[in-house]
Amino acid sequence: MRIPLLSAAWVCILAAVMVHSSALEARLLRADPNAIPGNAALLAFARDRGGALFEAHCAACHGTGGQADAVRGIPALSDPQWLYGTGSVSDIEQIIKYGIRSHHPRGWNLAIMPAYASAQPSARDSKIPPLSPGNIGDLVEYLFQRQGRAADDAAAARGGELFLHAGCYDCHAVDAKGDSAIGAPDLTDAVTLYGDGSRESLVMSIAYGRQGMCPDWVRRINAAGIREVAVFVYSLSHPQGQAGAAAPGSG
């Protein structure tokens, strides 16, 4: 009799766990996503399940801990500054759903860094002029100066004029601080998505362009799973689980 009784008990326990998980999942989907970090039970539930999904679907690019990869232009997800949006759970959820330059019509598809060393830097805008190696060097000196690093003042002055007339300001803003609404990075800080921030790496970005991509997951992960991954990613930059959106920036 003991074995049937133990089996029945395990079945009852498993059923109770499944019912509890289903109830929490339903609450998760009904909740305001940005209020989840303030609810300890929902936060822990979503973070744990989201971590497993993240490892299965996202870690191939982002690593298990959301590490940066400057070779492939993968941002550090543990950085409280965000390239796209504000870093809120709802903004992260939108990125996971629809991607970045994923060709999904609802994805973040606006910010494409042109290849200024080519005869036609951007196929999307034939009005963008190409730049000579000297022009690109001047722009790099301007960026160094804006970052508070030692720069050639004369070249930086020329680069500042180019920044305003070569179309750079249109995405990165007149003050070069970027625009998180479209995913244009802040060029005045020390954070670089590609390379090590050296003159050489900045020349490469300006000359040859950058068009990194994050796929859309809306057709491959269900709604609850996407929200769980979003909460997990949020928790990487908020290890104490504090509520509130992160400041926009270049991370």
CA torsion, ordered 196, 176, 168, 143, to nearest 10 deg: -40
The predicted pLDDT at position 113 comes to: 92
pTM for this entry = 0.83
Measure the CA–CA gap between 229 and 136, rounded to whole angstroms: 40
* Phi, psi angles (nearest 5°) of residue 100: -125, 120
The predicted pLDDT at position 111 comes to: 82
Count other Cβ atoms within 10 Å, centred on residue 20: 11
Considering the segment(s) 2-109+214-237 as one domain, its CATH architecture is Orthogonal Bundle (1.10)
> Taking the chain (251 residues) in consecutive chunks of 10 residues, what is each chunk's mean pLDDT?
56 51 90 96 95 96 93 91 92 97 90 91 80 98 97 98 92 94 92 93 96 94 97 92 41 38
Domain 133-208: assigned CATH number: 1.10.760.10
Asked if domains 2-109+214-237 and 133-208 share a fold, the reply is yes
The predicted pLDDT at position 126 comes to: 73
For the chain, the first-to-last Cα distance in angstroms comes to 60
Whether the Cβ atoms of residue 151 and residue 145 lie closer than 8 Å to each other:
yes
The predicted pLDDT at position 248 comes to: 35
SS3 3: helix
Cα 233 to Cα 57, 68, 117, 141: the distances in Å are 13, 13, 36, 35
Measure the CA–CA gap between 62 and 68, rounded to whole angstroms: 7
Q: What is the DSSP letter of 76?
A: -
Domain ranges, ordered by start, for the chain: 2-109+214-237, 133-208
Nearest to 93 by CA among 61, 132, 50: 50
Whether the Cβ atoms of residue 102 and residue 215 lie closer than 8 Å to each other:
yes
